[in-house]
Structure 1
Amino acid sequence: MKTIFYSTVVIVMTLFTSCSSLAQTTIDTNKNNYVVLTKKVPQLEPIILTAEALKDEDGSNFGQFEVIICGKEIGDITDSSKMKDFIARAENANVQLVACGFSLNKFKVDITKVPKEMKTVENGILYNFQLQKKGFKSLSL
């Protein structure tokens, strides 16, 4: 029984390590990569404007730009009247919108109502630190 348990743990850890290294290879560290952590949907307006300006300024050196939304107002992301314009502008500016799964769970937001264009991560704060370790410039609002 112990052998099966330890074998399973080793296999899972091997898969996790393989997946982690795959994710790391998709980030071009020679480019300017950005991450912003925000707690309020209306802040997406100036964040996306900033992403658009940086994309123009950086030119071919513009890499990834991710915006992590977390906190007690996370439920606002399920309101299509608030989100549809932000989602369209984010897509045009190559900005990835990310929902914090921890916040979604804590504030009992129906995960099925999260816009399909958004990525969901288990823990937004941890994800932010992981991106910083990969060289992303970070800002929290």
Structure 2
Amino acid sequence: MNRVQTQDFCVADEYARLADNPACGAVVTFVGKVRDFGDNQGVTNMVLEHYPGMTEAVLTQIEQEARQRWPLDEVTIIHRVGPLSLSDQIVFIGVSSAHRKAAFAAGEYLIDFLKTRAPFWKKEQTDAEAHWVEAKDSDQQAAEMWHEE
């Protein structure tokens, strides 16, 4: 299940959906949050924008790729858009599988490719200015490592 939404999500509810399967041997989750630093120190809040329709299609494609690589039961990708404050949850990645290695690898794969392929744009606000955040080389390098395997 993939969702792009403005409202917050409940990690416990999402975990319960992932784990509700007697064949499930492992559940791995990741939550990304708004922090007080990014490209600049002193971030006070941010705004996330996306390309509706295309964003959801890319998330579905990334999920399908992960399912081709690993034996997965349930997959959840939630990404918030709109204005967000410090400590707000931004993204939830959840994976369940019969095996922990598959769940861990798939979770990392999903966030690496979400960060490099999904059309989201982040604008950080500090006390002094607002600016759009550029793509990070480290995110691209993390995604490229999956092609080396």
Q: Give the number of the structure whose residues are more often strand, by fraction.
A: 2
Structure number with the higher helix fraction is: 1
Q: Which protein is bigger by CA-based radius of gyration?
A: 1
